[in-house]
Structure 1
Amino acid sequence: MTARSISALALLLAIGMTSFAVAQRPRREVKWVNPDIPKMPGLVHKVLESKSLGHEVGYVVWTPPEMDTSGETRYPVVYFLHGAGGSERSDAAGFASQVAGAIRGGKFPAAICVFPNGGMSGYRGDAEKMIVDELIPQIDQDYPTQAKPSGRVVCGFSMGGAGSVHLSLNHPDLFCAAGSWGGALAFRGSGEDSPLLAVAKQNADKLKANQYSLLTINGDQDRPDAFKPLKAIFDELDIEHRVVILEDTSHNLGKYHEKTSGLMLAFLKNQLGLAGT
């Protein structure tokens, strides 16, 4: 065997071993309980013994200052869903700080914020069951919430933005609004094939009965047409869906917060303000 042949064989073996290593690389490990949250007034970490997941799962709750715990005052709830690779602690202090500032400025109602841990689930399957069947009832039991669709909204970033749309459309009796930063109907393939299009049609009457509305915000460098097929369906169904495309914006939560935090909170406030109308 010539030196050239030996070199070629070594290269092929190296490529093969690299491909094998990639194929055998374990999936990112999910840590389901992350109690090391930032110190912030009103922010607490809790653990749910989830039957759906078969193990403990952490979640974070933020309560507004001077919350009335007598039960006479009922508070709306904002559920914030983290992105892939995040956890219940990832965005808790940041988003809660924005809500707290808006409340102080009279731009948002006193509200409770909840941050579930969705692992890498896309907020589907067992994690979806955990949130819908276990966490939401637990929050309504433990806190003086407005336990009805008009008092509950969901929003999030990336996987959490997509998850917010997924949860709100599949469970129209739970939320009156959803907001998505940097989400998509499908992160691979075409959104035209998303099962959510059929779900939106199927649940249209319930969504409209609860005065549901959707806000999707994407950067011009971050799948700007991500929700175009859903927007077309919503237009046909006469369901409000506002699409915002930001200039010079990639997949960066900090940029979304910087440019549109006020817009997102104003949207959620408006939807919560429709309660009883």
Structure 2
Amino acid sequence: MLSLCLAAFAGLLLMLAPGAGAKVKVLKSEKLDSRLTELTLSTPNVDGPTGVRVLLPAGYGSSSRNYPVLYLLHGAFDDFRSWTDKGDTEALTADLPLIVVMPDTGIRDGYTDWDNGGAGGPPAWETYHIKELIPFIDRRFRTRADRAGRAVAGLSMGGYGAMIYAAKHPDLFTAAAAFSGAVNLTNPLLLAIGTPTARGEYAAHKLRFESDNPLSLAENLGGIYLTLRTGDGTSGGPLDPAGGFDIVESVVHASSVALHDRLDQLGIGHVWEDYGPGDHSWPYWQRDLKKTLPGLMKRFRAHTPAPDRITYKSADLSYGAYGWSVNVKRRAGEFSTLAGAGKAGFRIIGSGRATVRTAPLFRQCRRFAVSIRDAAGRREVIRHTGKTRRLEVKVNLGPANRYEQFTPEDEAAGHRSRTAKVAFRLLGRDRCGPKTRTQ
């Protein structure tokens, strides 16, 4: 029950963030049939108008219920119309109590905020999709506007989008699926077809790429219902047109296998289908969606709560998930990981200094003994939840690394990370002060 409340709290924060979704303006709304509507939107995060198709369940107009939402993402050189025009999505969802949202992300290097030589977006696709489009959809339609009622799936580049959005925002999605997904951004062939405008040159910006890579953030995917489906690009598949070896499917197959193996290594359960011979084409993605929908609907019906203990990895100086927040002070860019975070305590990995604030896990006005083991040694301090129901702890992760992670200078110096361990022990009730104390 507590986990469910935390997931709802995280979703509420998204909805209540200043200006969440407010910058999106509707330029045009066209009803294509009884279920399908096409919206043309404007946002400062995208150059020019951007489209989105919304597929409503049958009987939506005569019902008052709220429906789960599947964000269905297109691949490279397609657009927001592709899943309905080429993927038969309308027929596949005809009998399902489900809203399907199909946004645009451009023809290549989608689902990320472009670097543009350090100038930033537009396009800022991730900011638009996560901070603007989701709240906009939740306001405009009768959605189940919480984590347990929201999933994301996609094909090829859209499979990448589904997994990176789930990895970066695990408190927003209960499920994620990738069909022939480009889920290892640093695969050499995927690097070769990317544009430097999006993330810069890989050799000079490895941390930028790794921090935008589902494979590198796989530990963040714990507690999400995951599905990976892929062919291997060899000829002879049951849905292949006439043709031979498909290099694109071969590349995404290698990426999918890498993520599958990493999830297995981490002990994160997932649906895995390597169907062997098959090319990079719509007949397979249509079949993948058809196979995946029953599992998604079962997940929606279960109202699965967020995990009790979470792990979250990020290269940002300030990051968080599920109501937890971390602020790091260090000299250079690198990954930091909040691990095993829950009511009993947490671990944090990195360098420099970090301030960790828990989710609102505890009762108000409680006093805790906090055991800290970090670069400064072992100690026990007293902390108070106050009225926030949170604890705040500062830890020492040792000398900060001098150079950005993955650079030649960092490798020559020898990158160092230290793990700090923190445990909580309830002492009893306390008088509520105005703020939580920190050391």
Residue 199, structure 1, aligned to residue 217, structure 2: yes
Provide the C-alpha distance between the structure 1 equivalents of 2:165 and 2:42, rounded to a whole number of angstroms: 21
Residue 214, structure 1, aligned to residue 226, structure 2: yes
Change (3 A) 1:57 1:256: closer
Deviation at 1:54?
4.4
Change (3 A) 1:69 1:165: farther
* Counterpart in the other structure of 1:98: 92
Deviation at 1:86?
1.1
2:78 maps to a residue whose letter is: G
Residue 257, structure 1, aligned to residue 286, structure 2: yes
Residue 269, structure 1, aligned to residue 297, structure 2: yes
Provide the C-alpha distance between the structure 2 equivalents of 1:144 and 1:54, rounded to a whole number of angstroms: 29
Deviation at 1:77?
0.4
Deviation at 1:174?
1.2
| Maintained 8 Å contact 2:184/2:214 | no
| Maintained 8 Å contact 1:69/1:143 | no
Higher-Rg structure is: 2
Deviation at 1:69?
6.9
Deviation at 1:39?
4.2
Change (3 A) 1:162 1:37: farther
> Alignment partner for residue 117 of structure 1, among 86, 104, 107?
104
Provide the C-alpha distance between the structure 2 equivalents of 1:134 and 1:36, rounded to a whole number of angstroms: 18
Counterparts of 1:144-223 in structure 2 under 5 Å?
144-186=142-184, 188-189=187-188, 195-201=213-219, 203=220, 207-208=222-223, 212-221=224-233, 222-223=249-250
2:214 maps to a residue whose letter is: L
Query: Which moves more between the two structures, 235-244 or 78-87?
Result: 235-244
Provide the C-alpha distance between the structure 1 equivalents of 2:30 and 2:93, rounded to a whole number of angstroms: 17
Deviation at 1:62?
0.9
Higher-helix-fraction structure: 1
* Counterpart in the other structure of 1:48: 41
TM-score under structure 2 length normalisation? 0.48
Provide the C-alpha distance between the structure 2 equivalents of 1:276 and 1:229, rounded to a whole number of angstroms: 27
1:98 maps to a residue whose letter is: L
| Maintained 8 Å contact 2:68/2:150 | yes
* Counterpart in the other structure of 2:132: 134
1:200 maps to a residue whose letter is: A
* Counterpart in the other structure of 1:84: 76
Change (3 A) 1:37 1:227: farther
Deviation at 1:238?
3.0
| Maintained 8 Å contact 1:156/1:181 | yes
Deviation at 1:55?
3.3
Higher-strand-fraction structure: 2
Provide the C-alpha distance between the structure 2 equivalents of 1:127 and 1:180, rounded to a whole number of angstroms: 18
Provide the C-alpha distance between the structure 1 equivalents of 2:31 and 2:286, rounded to a whole number of angstroms: 19
Provide the C-alpha distance between the structure 2 equivalents of 1:142 and 1:159, rounded to a whole number of angstroms: 27
Give the ranges of 4+ consecutive aligned residues of structure 1 lying more than 6 Å apart after TM superposition: 35-38
| Maintained 8 Å contact 2:67/2:143 | yes
Provide the C-alpha distance between the structure 2 equivalents of 1:164 and 1:185, rounded to a whole number of angstroms: 9
Change (3 A) 1:239 1:273: farther
Deviation at 1:60?
0.7
The one-character-per-residue Cα deviations of 1:83-139 (angstroms, maximum 9, x if unpaired) are 111111111252122111xx2xxxx4x011101001023211111111001111100
| Maintained 8 Å contact 2:69/2:99 | yes
Provide the C-alpha distance between the structure 1 equivalents of 2:109 and 2:31, rounded to a whole number of angstroms: 24
SS in 1 for 2:142: coil
Aligned-residue CA RMSD in angstroms? 2.8
Deviation at 1:236?
3.7
Deviation at 1:179?
1.1
| Maintained 8 Å contact 2:31/2:38 | no
Structure 1 segments unaligned to the other structure (5+ residues): 1-32
Change (3 A) 1:53 1:38: same
Change (3 A) 1:190 1:240: farther
Q: Which protein has greater RCO, CA pairs closer than 8 Å, 6+ apart? A: 1
Structure 2 segments unaligned to the other structure (5+ residues): 1-25, 114-123, 191-208, 234-248, 306-439
